[in-house]
Chains A and B, each alone.
Chain A
């Protein structure tokens, strides 16, 4: 890797919170339009984060800011691993550690709402991480490598070979973005039930860090979806944005479901889709 490509990779990794924030603004604008409202300006999420940063610091315990910084840090490391074309499994572990920072911080505070949110966040991880893992194994069976560089080296676009795996990742994206029907852990619409779920005990600058970390994680997931048309950046971005838009449409037409149905759907539909795809490839002779 020469100097210029290294610089591009570092910049892209550090820009993931900004890209995610802009997408969050697009999300709020589109959601408002779907509900026949005007909607906030596109940069509204950045106003929110700046405001949160300027508020009085009210932390529940001394571990909380450390874990909030950890959430953002590990999310950025995961983004960096994607842009430096590293191992997919390592990326999965890094996003997992970022999530564990969030849930530990939430469960550390003595608040029942935060505790329920943290427990449901663990269940969300239990739902989507096995699906991502099995998709990565399918990618390994096709390309012979677990690295992002291996996907780039594999001549053909992965979406042509593994279309059903891409559909399985749509479920992952919905859970990752905390959108209906699977926004069980930290919905912004469940005041009576959860207050703010896993985010309840964060306030001021810790909440700003958590927001930035969440955007970085969302942008990382979208970049991984883009890998399904790896050599061409334009079609990659189109795939990620199309799946982002599908998530918003689903968010606006579905109510919030229980965590049981989240676990059942992802484990059954997700696993079956990926297995069907692999079986078809074995029969077709792509995987020997």
Chain B
């Protein structure tokens, strides 16, 4: 592992896009940035600029209106980049899945690396999901909890 690859794991800059979520998940994302959870100790910053970001956090379902905006933000991010779908709506469309204007989960528009389900997701789940994303970046396969599967 080179020094640059090591640095990529220690410094994730985040940009957050709301695809029309109810703001429940957005508030939980902000809660993860507060002193209690303090993700900055892992080098995670909410940068607000797709050109400098490594991770795209998306909340809410994709629809015909916002799919171009979502794709535009994704295209503006330089590689290597990760996409995390936060909340049930972003994962699958949630309770909006059969609405006429809704496409479904954001994976209908852009490739997604990590899905974090929940309505609304808990900040702990978001931190856990970001760690999963880091493992993917480092090339470590996710450990499946076998007891829970049985």
Residues facing B in A167-217 (CB within 8 A) are 188, 191, 195-196, 199-204, 207
Q: Indicate with 1 or 0, residue by residue over B26-44, a CB within 8 angstroms of chain A CB atoms.
A: 0000000001001011110
In the complex where A35-B35, A48-B43, A201-B51 touch, is A56 in contact with B4 (Cβ < 8 A)? Answer: no
Interface status of A232 (Cβ within 8 A of chain B): no
Interface status of B21 (Cβ within 8 A of chain A): no
Interface status of B101 (Cβ within 8 A of chain A): no
Q: Is A55 a contact of B43 with CB atoms below 8 Å?
A: no
Residue of A nearest to B53 (CB): A203
In the complex where A51-B11, A54-B7 touch, is A36 in contact with B35 (Cβ < 8 A)? Answer: yes
Q: Is A39 a contact of B41 with CB atoms below 8 Å?
A: yes
Interface status of B23 (Cβ within 8 A of chain A): no
Q: Is B78 a contact of A37 with CB atoms below 8 Å?
A: no
Option from A32, A54, A195 in Cβ contact (under 8 Å) with B49:
A195
Whole-angstrom CA separation of A269 from B6 in the bound complex: 47
Looking at B13, B46, B54, B78, the one whose CB has the most chain A CB atoms below 10 A away is B78
Q: Is B49 a contact of A200 with CB atoms below 8 Å?
A: yes
How many B residues touch the partner, as a band?
Answer: 20 to 34
The count of residues in chain A whose C-beta lies closer than 8 Å to any C-beta of chain B is 33
- Give min CB distance, B10 to chain A, whole Å: 4
Whole-angstrom CA separation of A37 from B38 in the bound complex: 6
Q: Is B7 a contact of A47 with CB atoms below 8 Å?
A: yes
Interface status of A52 (Cβ within 8 A of chain B): yes
In the complex where A47-B10, A54-B4, A203-B78 touch, is A32 in contact with B52 (Cβ < 8 A)? Answer: no
Residues facing B in A44-77 (CB within 8 A) are 44, 46-48, 50-58
- Give min CB distance, A129 to chain B, whole Å: 28
- Give min CB distance, B38 to chain A, whole Å: 4
- Give min CB distance, B9 to chain A, whole Å: 9
Interface status of B66 (Cβ within 8 A of chain A): no
Whole-angstrom CA separation of A188 from B46 in the bound complex: 9
Q: Is A50 a contact of B7 with CB atoms below 8 Å?
A: yes
Q: Is A51 a contact of B51 with CB atoms below 8 Å?
A: no
Residue of B nearest to A109 (CB): B51
Interface status of B150 (Cβ within 8 A of chain A): no
Q: Is A196 a contact of B4 with CB atoms below 8 Å?
A: no
Interface status of A38 (Cβ within 8 A of chain B): yes
Interface status of A40 (Cβ within 8 A of chain B): yes
Q: Is B48 a contact of A191 with CB atoms below 8 Å?
A: yes
Whole-angstrom CA separation of A48 from B40 in the bound complex: 12
Interface status of B143 (Cβ within 8 A of chain A): no
Q: Is A50 a contact of B4 with CB atoms below 8 Å?
A: yes
Whole-angstrom CA separation of A37 from B6 in the bound complex: 24
A-B contacts, 15 listed (Cβ < 8 Å): A32-B41, A37-B35, A37-B40, A39-B38, A40-B42, A47-B10, A50-B11, A51-B54, A52-B52, A55-B54, A191-B46, A196-B49, A196-B52, A200-B51, A203-B52
Interface residues of B (CB under 8 A from A): 3-8, 10-11, 13, 35, 38, 40-43, 45-49, 51-52, 54, 76, 78-80
The 4 closest A-B pairs by CB, nearest first: A191-B48, A54-B4, A50-B7, A56-B78
Given contacts A38-B38, A50-B3, 7 further A-B contacts (CB under 8 A): A35-B35, A37-B40, A37-B41, A47-B11, A52-B52, A55-B54, A207-B52
